[in-house]
Amino acid sequence: MSLHETFGQPLLTFPDAEKSPLSIRAKALVFVDPRSRTLRQELEQLAPRAISVLIHGETGSGKELLARHIHRASDRGGLFVSVNCGAISPTYADAELFGYAGGSFSGSASSRAGWFGSANGGTLYLDEIGDLPLPIQIKLLAALENHEVTRVGAQQPSPVDVRLVAATSIDLAQAVAAGKFHERLYHYLSEGQLQLPALRERVGDIQSLAEYFLGIYSQRLGLPVPFISDAAQQVLEQHSWPGNTRELENVIHFALLVSSGDEIAPQHLNLPATEPPLQLIERWVEQWVHSGNREPLERLKQLLAQV
């Protein structure tokens, strides 16, 4: 992991990111906003501990990046293995997650370690863990508690040393109450929890991320790097970002392609009209209460002066 300056802002990047099928969004993370800096402090405290971690956050907010940061900061020598639980086949979930012995399936002469075995000595990241079928949740908990897995078709269990980092965009406590998530697994994961704020709740990160995306796409496309006008920056900061960082990346990519000069203007962003003043006031008051700094308050004063 390296720390360098991009457009004057600190940026964490991962050296193995180019080898992975991640978007540009999932290859860097900034901690500029006060809430992001608090999150980073919590993350650095959790990373060295040998406990599972559950990351809460909306879709597109960067949960996998936090998981990769935890893996890097933990100094675990094994691989970081990322699995989308919603993409695991219900029929072959056992084999995909825990592996299988040779001859267990038609045409499977060799054995496979599965995702769990591949992460031995490293970190297994399960995205949207709530999508795991309940029977697999029970087996996952047993593997974590006993530090061993039994591959499909195998006679003996195999020892494993895996740290689990899971992520969810839903309230798993409600899923437990509804009988859709295993209660003991939830409590196992709850020992280490991180809340990743939505992008609209960490407005201080928007400029740094936007300039990072602009620089990367300009380099990839062989285009000069335009600057983001003050008016465009204001639009970016006032947008509610339902798609979070993923949406911001797409907006900046589009703006770069349609702008003709050396400046990104509001009309290049293709964003809907600005929120009504009352909604902005409510959002900025919330940010001020959570962040403890005066920047949202100053923006609120500016807005009130315009009303």
Q: Higher-confidence residue: 92 or 15?
A: 92
pLDDT class for 1, splitting at 50, 70, 90?
A: very low
CA-CA distance, 189 to 182, in Å (whole number)? Answer: 11
- Tell me yes or no: is domain 200-306 CATH 2.40.110.10: no
The fraction of the chain above a pLDDT of 90, given in percent, is 58
Identity of the residue numbered 202: R
CA-CA distance, 84 to 202, in Å (whole number)? Answer: 26
**Is pLDDT at 63 greater than 80 in this prediction?**
yes
**Is pLDDT at 302 greater than 90 in this prediction?**
no
Give 229-252 pLDDT, tens digit per residue. 999 999 999 999 999 998 999 999
Give 192-207 pLDDT, tens digit per residue. 999 999 999 999 999 9
pLDDT of residue 288: 59
pTM of the entire predicted model: 0.79
pLDDT class for 158, splitting at 50, 70, 90?
A: confident
Considering 61-65, 113-117, 149-153, the range whose residues carry the highest mean pLDDT is: 61-65
**Once rounded to an integer, what is the mean pLDDT over residues 219-234?**
93
pLDDT of residue 71: 94
Place of tokens 């700094």: 293
End-to-end CA distance of the chain: 46
**Once rounded to an integer, what is the mean pLDDT over residues 256-273?**
89
pLDDT of residue 127: 96
Q: Kindly report the average pLDDT of the chain as a whole number.
A: 83
Give 6-37 pLDDT, tens digit per residue. 444 445 544 444 444 445 555 667 889 999 99
Give the number of other CB atoms < 10 A from CB of residue 65.
21
pLDDT of residue 281: 61
Give Cα separations from 233 to 207, 229, 264 (angstroms). 7, 6, 9
**Is pLDDT at 110 greater than 60 in this prediction?**
no
Architecture category of domain 34-195 in CATH: 3-Layer(aba) Sandwich (3.40)
Domain map (residue ranges) of the chain: 34-195, 200-306
